[in-house]
Amino acid sequence: MTADVVTLLPEVVLALGAVLGLLVGSFLPPGREAPVRWVGIAAAVATIVVALVGPVGASAFGGTYTVDVATTTVRVLVAGAVAVTLVLAGDPGAGGASNGTILASNARTAPLTQRAGRSRTAFAVLVQLSGVGAMVLGGASDLLLLAAAVLLAGLPLAALAGLARDGRAAEAALKYFLSSALFGLVLLTGVTVLLGLTGARAYAALGRVVPPVAGAVALLLVLVGLLMTLGGVPAHFWVPDAVDGTHPVTGAVLTTTAKLGGLVAVWRLLVAVPTATVPWPLLVAVLGVGSMTLGNLAAFAQTSLRRLLAYSTVSQVGYLLVPVAAAARSPLALPALLGYLAAYATTNLAVFAVLAARPHALEIADQRGLARRHPLLAVALAVGLLGLVGTPPTVVFAGKLAGFTAAVDGGMTWLAVVAILNSIASLFYYLRWIAPVFSTGDPVLRDPVAPRARVVAVVLAAASVVGGVLVAFVR
């Protein structure tokens, strides 16, 4: 038992950080809750350290939880994302206090403290709890633990989406909550059927799934349930509304942390199932193609940057599913998946940080002349967006290259072709954003820039380039 807890130490540390933050926060006057964020950041950093020095190759609680390279990667990435979002949350207006002047007209009338309550404490705690859920998702090798982890990762996000307490936020939260309830049920149904078929909770028993049709249907249900957590087709409906209705920092959390754990969960579940019983590589490939294509097509016409980015994250789920689809047949798939996850987390957070730096300019038209007023921010944005396309030498390029190589290696060249065509299509809407940024016209807004978000954006964009160059030293 003690050994089990030691194996789970990173999760424990982050959860303790959340509890401690809750305690500290309740003794602080509303509106002056910075120490809660610092507790959270410290816990996240400690989690990274513990995850890196901890044992790899262990399993805990009778095999329900596996710690391997994938788990460690998820732990480090999730904790890193939590730390970054908590830093971002320090900017005025971010961190759940409100969408404030951006969105809600009624927000201007109410005094800040009354309206916000202890929302900054809540924000920090919820981010950490969702992070714990994402980490458990990444390590779960047991059907029931998987179901619990999906709830743990998802429910805090619903609360997070509604923190701002205005109309848009309520809509976002409700939409997220309802779809997570629906797809959670789908997931549980699938889990139940699988339990019934195999008579065991452990993934190891999935090899025994006897009647292929029932097994395939159940697996599909579980997959669809997980896709809700990931925000991928066919469970992507919440993404644009939730991201568009919340502050960019919240949007960053919604589209990053749970996704990191969820993809590894999908991979871990599927590789346990023999492809002879269920042809899941094809299934995942089709779902992936659906995500990337639908996400891209929907992003084309957006004028709201948050919606555009939301759809871009949907398409990114599609690319992330490419190495998962190849996982059965290519040994390159796992490093490709983990590499792409790291790349995605860095780049996606960088772009959201650029948005968070100017939370008043959330339409494409507001971006005109950004390069003249804030050249560093503009360059960070260009690096981030072109990075999401997969332009070298950014990390996403390395991730996409690895993923496509794995697909070709796994005999799914057609999937690589579709993914490449989608990457080209995605360039179009990213350029719709980049073009006004570097246009020579006078800036639209002379607004203040959130200092932390600017630093984070520039640092992450630089990291995405340096990481792309130094990718050799990662593993």
Partner 1 sequence: MLTALWLAPLVVAAVLAAVPAARREVVLGAWLVLTVAEVVGAGFVWTAVPRAGGFASEVAAPWIPAFGVGYHLGADGFSAPLVAMTAVVFLAVALGSLRRPDVEDPARTRAFVLLFLALEAVGIGVFLALDLVLFFVFFDLSIVLMYFVIAGWGSGARTRSALQFFLYTFLGSLVMLLGFLVLAVGARDHGGITFDIPTLAARNPLAGQGVTGALALAAIGIGLAIKTPVWPVHTWLPPAHTDAPAAGSAVLAAVLLKMGTYGFVRIAMPLLPGPWRSAALVFVVLGVVSVLWGALVALAQRDLKRMVAYTSITHLGYVVLAVGAAGFVAAGPEARILAVTGATVQMVSHGLITAALFLLTGVLRRRGGTSEIAAWSGLAGPMPRFSWTFALAAFASLGLPGLSGFVGEFSLLAGSLPAVPVWTVLAALGLALTAALFLRALQAMLLGDRHLPARAERPPVPRAGLARFRAPGSPDLRVAETTAVGLLLACSLAVGVAPALLTTTIAPAAAQVVALVSR
Instruction: Find the part of the chain contacting partner 1 (CB under 8 A) among 49-57, 302-310, 316-324, 393-401.
Output: 393-401
The amino acid occupying position 181 is A
Q: How far apart are CA 448 and CA 433, in angstroms?
A: 20
Output the smallest distance, CB 266 to partner 1, in A: 21
Output the smallest distance, CB 79 to partner 1, in A: 24
Instruction: Find the part of the chain contacting partner 1 (CB under 8 A) among 173-181, 200-208, 319-327, 385-393.
Output: 385-393
Among 205, 392, 445, 447, binds partner 1 (CB under 8 A): 392
Q: Is 446 in the site for partner 1 (CB under 8 A)?
A: no
Q: Which is nearer to partner 1, 446 or 475 (CB)?
A: 475
Among 53, 213, 365, 472, binds partner 1 (CB under 8 A): 472
Structure-block tokens of residue 256: 């990053």
Q: How far apart are CA 385 and CA 427, in angstroms?
A: 9
Q: How far apart are CA 137 and CA 152, in angstroms?
A: 9
Question: Site size for partner 1, by CB under 8 A?
Answer: 32
Q: Between the CA of residue 409 and those of 336, 392, 398, 446, what are the distances in Å?
A: 12, 21, 16, 51
Return phi, psi of residue 441, to 5°: -60, 165
Return phi, psi of residue 202, to 5°: -70, 150
Q: Which is nearer to partner 1, 276 or 472 (CB)?
A: 472
Among 420, 448, 451, 466, binds partner 1 (CB under 8 A): 420
Instruction: Find the part of the chain contacting partner 1 (CB under 8 A) among 237-245, 260-268, 350-358, 397-405.
Output: 397-405
Instruction: Identify the residue whose tokens are 């503009």.
Output: 378
Ranges within 318-337 binding partner 1 (CB under 8 A): 332, 335
Instruction: Identify the residue whose tokens are 């804030």.
Output: 374
Output the smallest distance, CB 303 to partner 1, in A: 17
Over the window 334 to 363, marking each residue x when it contacts partner 1 by CB under 8 A and - when it does not, the resulting string is: -x----------------------------
Among 423, 433, 457, 458, binds partner 1 (CB under 8 A): 423
Q: Which is nearer to partner 1, 97 or 322 (CB)?
A: 322
The amino acid occupying position 167 is G
Q: Which is nearer to partner 1, 316 or 391 (CB)?
A: 391
Q: How far apart are CA 424 and CA 418, in angstroms?
A: 10
Among 211, 274, 375, 448, binds partner 1 (CB under 8 A): 375
Among 123, 183, 404, 433, binds partner 1 (CB under 8 A): 404
- In this structure, what is the dihedral angle of CA atoms 205, 206, 207, 213, given to the nearest 10 degrees? 140
Output the smallest distance, CB 424 to partner 1, in A: 5
Q: Which is nearer to partner 1, 286 or 401 (CB)?
A: 401
Q: Is 391 in the site for partner 1 (CB under 8 A)?
A: yes
Angle subtended at Cα 89 by Cα 79 and Cα 74, rounded to the nearest 5 degrees: 15
Q: How far apart are CA 222 and CA 143, in angstroms?
A: 10
Among 413, 442, 448, 451, binds partner 1 (CB under 8 A): 413
Among 59, 189, 275, 405, binds partner 1 (CB under 8 A): 405
Q: How far apart are CA 348 and CA 306, in angstroms?
A: 12
Q: Is 440 in the site for partner 1 (CB under 8 A)?
A: yes
Output the smallest distance, CB 404 to partner 1, in A: 6
Q: Is 414 in the site for partner 1 (CB under 8 A)?
A: no
Per-residue DSSP letters for 283-332? HHHHHHHHHHHHHHHHHHT--BHHHHHHHHHHHHHHHHHHHHHTTTT-TT
Q: How far apart are CA 321 and CA 292, in angstroms?
A: 9
Among 1, 210, 213, 475, binds partner 1 (CB under 8 A): 475
The count of other CB atoms within 10 Å of the CB of residue 50 is: 18
Q: Is 398 in the site for partner 1 (CB under 8 A)?
A: yes
Q: How far apart are CA 40 and CA 453, in angstroms?
A: 17
Among 181, 282, 417, 466, binds partner 1 (CB under 8 A): 417
- Terminal CA-CA length for the chain: 31
The count of other CB atoms within 10 Å of the CB of residue 452 is: 18
Residues that bind partner 1 (CB under 8 A): 332, 335, 372, 375, 386, 391-393, 397-398, 401-402, 404-405, 408-409, 413, 416-417, 420, 423-424, 427-428, 431, 435, 438-440, 471-472, 475
